[in-house]
């Protein structure tokens, strides 16, 4: 494990004069050199016009609303898909659409996206317009099937397109080869937010709201959903996404969120008034995702759609139970994968460059999380597989920085066209299907391709920090300033520091967590620290009197008292 310190990219600063030097250094290390890039007011969002296909999508939806035709949304079974679907339904209802409906493919029956099979189900609802959210860019056959039934198809997606595009009536995707939209990092919920905003503008141009005596909806009302889906889908928080997320967080902090979001925060024991972006990613998102992993995402969508707080709490309780079950399943699968890894190492084999794990009894809804866990453990690209049918495996891949996993799969498909049935995804995550009989050949081919792409340095786990903190920054005021300077997230990481401390006390709490009292050597300042899920074989370590910590600043509030606490990400004797 290496600890590396982020370097600043520029010294040409344009920050407010009262900004602490440590905070300036943090922003410079993230490519931000002025207060202007930290201005998250809503009017500073990127203009929608460069989004290719946006005008056509708004016209098609407006025509359907004016003609009172049925609109059906086909979503995805993750948190981004759930928030995208909910936002679409709520916005369409507010704009006067007649009973807009949704359909989310059950992953166990239909798999991902707009397949011809799910179109058959959609046809039973007799929609005039079918809208995909968070999927569709790879649905060549599904779009053709929908068109054969006379439906108009609007694809809204953010995934990377393949060599062939579907023949939809409109495609809105910032990663479309003809799209000039500056931010390529919109989540699916961000794309449908822009589409619904354009639809509102088109209906306003037609005087629809005035003629129908419908109040013009405020798009800001949906930003809680946009923030949740954006953070939960772990897309890069570029400036545009930070505006969307920060504005959504402000609404949630003010208690203006959907009852379902507030209920999920409550069941996760989070105070909505002090919400951070990480709470959406680690508390709300996993509970929503658990529905799609183990059962039916419609439960998550209904939780987000309901206006009744009591009903929202009931849905939140169901989602929390799913999440508990998911954790138990994940733990068993992780134990089995770690045993398989030990078998490789016990046989004195070199660890593959690209790793595959498979067990016929694994739960297909949890393999994505398993791949993430094993990627963290092995620090190399990992694919976890589960059996989904006779001679069919579904795989979920997670990658490391510098290895574009979808591109790697694309190369594999070109070299070995018989091995991959289908695939799609992003730079850091992807999904695929293969035949079980091809598993061993696929495993070897994947390892060979990754071996061409990675260096020894990339395969060594690295923790990036913002360096040591000055003694005066170990304060509640600085910790609060860091918290309020977010949102922090993917590609805009929460500030993380490192340093060597004297160990004064150490003990286990809750059986798995290490509670420490440490002293900052230069100032003599005493600090509380906690490391969750510590390695019990290594800690507590009574022989350790000096310790190197990688940590974040946290404000621990208990019985009305606020205290500074270090949240430890990594520790080692110094």
Q: For 350-453, CATH number?
A: 3.10.310.30
Kindly tell me if the per-residue pLDDT of 349 is higher than 80: no
* Contact between 393 and 442 (Cβ < 8 Å): no
Kindly tell me if the per-residue pLDDT of 111 is higher than 90: no
> Of 1-15, 438-452, 466-480, where does mean pLDDT reach its minimum?
1-15
Task: Locate the domains of the chain by residue range.
Answer: 44-318, 350-453, 466-573
CATH class entry, domain 466-573: mainly beta
The two tokens of residue 79 are 């948190």
Please write the tens of the pLDDT for every residue from 411-429.
999 999 999 998 887 888 8
Kindly tell me if the per-residue pLDDT of 559 is higher than 90: no
Residues 248-269 have a mean pLDDT of 97
> Of 55-59, 259-263, 318-322, 419-423, where does mean pLDDT reach its minimum?
419-423
> Of 4-13, 478-487, 518-527, where does mean pLDDT reach its minimum?
4-13
> Of 3-7, 115-119, 320-324, 334-338, where does mean pLDDT reach its minimum?
3-7
| CB neighbourhood size of 485 (10 A) | 15
Q: What is the pLDDT of residue 13?
A: 75
Please say whether the dihedral angle defined by the alpha carbons of residues 313, 316, 322 and 327, taken in this order, is positive or negative: negative
Please write the tens of the pLDDT for every residue from 297-311.
999 999 999 999 999
Residue-averaged pLDDT of the chain: 94
* Sheet hosting strand 152-156, strand order edge to edge: 101-103, 71-74, 129-133, 152-156, 170-172
The two tokens of residue 523 are 């100032």
Kindly tell me if the per-residue pLDDT of 199 is higher than 80: yes
Residues 171-175 have a mean pLDDT of 97
Q: What percent of the chain has pLDDT over 90?
A: 84
Kindly tell me if the per-residue pLDDT of 437 is higher than 80: yes
Going by their DSSP bridges, the two strands 392-398 and 429-434 should be labelled as antiparallel
> Of 99-108, 361-370, 393-402, where does mean pLDDT reach its minimum?
99-108
Q: What is the pLDDT of residue 9?
A: 65
Kindly tell me if the per-residue pLDDT of 10 is higher than 90: no
Q: What is the pLDDT of residue 457?
A: 86
- The CATH number corresponding to 44-318 among 1.25.60.10, 3.40.630.30, 3.40.50.1000, 3.90.1640.30 equals 3.90.1640.30
Q: Which long-range contacts (CB under 8 A, 24 or more apart) does 263-270 make?
A: 263/303, 263/309, 263/312, 263/313, 263/315, 263/316, 264/288, 264/303, 264/316, 264/319, 264/320, 266/313, 266/316, 267/313, 267/316, 267/317, 267/320, 268/320
Q: Which helix (H) or strand (E) holds 551?
A: strand 546-558
Please write the tens of the pLDDT for every residue from 386-407.
999 889 999 999 999 889 999 9
Q: What is the pLDDT of residue 11?
A: 60
């Amino acid at each position: 494990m290496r600890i590396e310190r982020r370097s600043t990219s520029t010294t040409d600063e344009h920050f407010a004069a009262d900004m602490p030097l440590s905070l300036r250094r943090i922003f410079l290390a993230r490519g931000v050199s002025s207060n202007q890039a930290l201005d998250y007011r809503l009017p500073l969002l990127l203009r929608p016009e460069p989004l290719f296909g946006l005008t056509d999508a708004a016209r098609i939806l407006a025509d359907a609303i004016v003609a009172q035709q049925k609109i059906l949304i086909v979503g995805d079974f993750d948190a981004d898909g759930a928030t995208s679907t909910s936002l679409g339904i709520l916005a369409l209802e507010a704009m006067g659409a007649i009973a807009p409906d949704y359909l989310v493919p059950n992953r166990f029956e239909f798999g991902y996206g707009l397949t011809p099979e799910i179109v058959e189900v959609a046809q039973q609802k007799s929609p005039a317009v079918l809208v995909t959210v968070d999927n569709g860019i790879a649905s060549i056959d599904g779009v053709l099937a929908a068109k054969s039934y006379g439906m108009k198809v609007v694809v809204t997606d953010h995934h990377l397109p393949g060599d062939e595009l579907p023949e939809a009536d409109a495609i809105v995707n910032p990663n479309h080869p003809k799209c000039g939209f500056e931010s390529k990092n919109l989540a699916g919920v961000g794309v449908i937010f822009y589409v619904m905003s354009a639809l509102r503008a088109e209906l306003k141009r037609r005087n629809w709201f005035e003629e129908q005596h419908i109040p013009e909806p405020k798009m800001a009302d949906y930003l809680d959903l946009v923030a949740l889906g954006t953070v939960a889908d772990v897309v890069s928080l570029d400036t545009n996404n930070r505006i969307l997320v920060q504005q959504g967080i402000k609404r949630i902090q003010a208690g203006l969120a959907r009852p379902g979001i507030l209920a999920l925060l409550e069941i996760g024991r989070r105070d909505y008034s002090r919400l951070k972006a990480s709470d959406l990613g680690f508390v709300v998102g996993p509970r929503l995702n658990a529905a799609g992993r183990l059962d039916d995402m419609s439960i998550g969508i209904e939780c987000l759609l309901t206006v009744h707080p009591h009903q929202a709490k009931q849905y939140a309780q169901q989602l929390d139970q799913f999440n508990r079950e998911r954790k138990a399943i994940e733990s068993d699968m992780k134990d089995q994968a770690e045993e398989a890894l030990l078998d490789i190492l016990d046989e004195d084999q070199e660890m593959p460059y690209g790793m595959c794990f498979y067990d016929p009894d694994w739960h297909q809804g949890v393999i994505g999380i398993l791949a993430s866990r094993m990627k963290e453990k092995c620090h190399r690209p990992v694919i976890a597989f589960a059996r989904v049918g006779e001679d069919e495996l579904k795989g979920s891949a997670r990658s490391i920085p510098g290895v574009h996993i979808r591109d790697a799969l694309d190369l594999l498909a070109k070299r070995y066209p018989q091995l991959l049935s289908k695939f799609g995804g992003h730079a850091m995550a992807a999904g695929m299907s293969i035949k079980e009989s091809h598993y061993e050949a696929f495993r070897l081919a994947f390892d060979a391709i990754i071996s061409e792409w990675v260096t020894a340095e990339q395969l060594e786990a690295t923790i990036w920090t913002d360096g040591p903190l000055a003694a005066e920054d170990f304060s509640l005021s600085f910790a609060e300033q860091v918290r309020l300077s977010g949102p922090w997230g993917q590609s805009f990481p929460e500030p993380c520091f490192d340093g060597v401390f004297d160990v004064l006390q150490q003990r286990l709490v809750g059986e798995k967590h290490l509670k420490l009292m440490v002293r900052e050597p230069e100032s003599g300042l005493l600090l509380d620290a906690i490391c969750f899920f510590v390695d019990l074989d290594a800690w507590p370590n009574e022989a350790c009197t000096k310790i190197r910590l990688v940590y974040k600043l946290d404000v621990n509030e208990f019985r009305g008292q606020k205290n500074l606490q270090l949240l430890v990400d990594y520790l080692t004797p110094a």
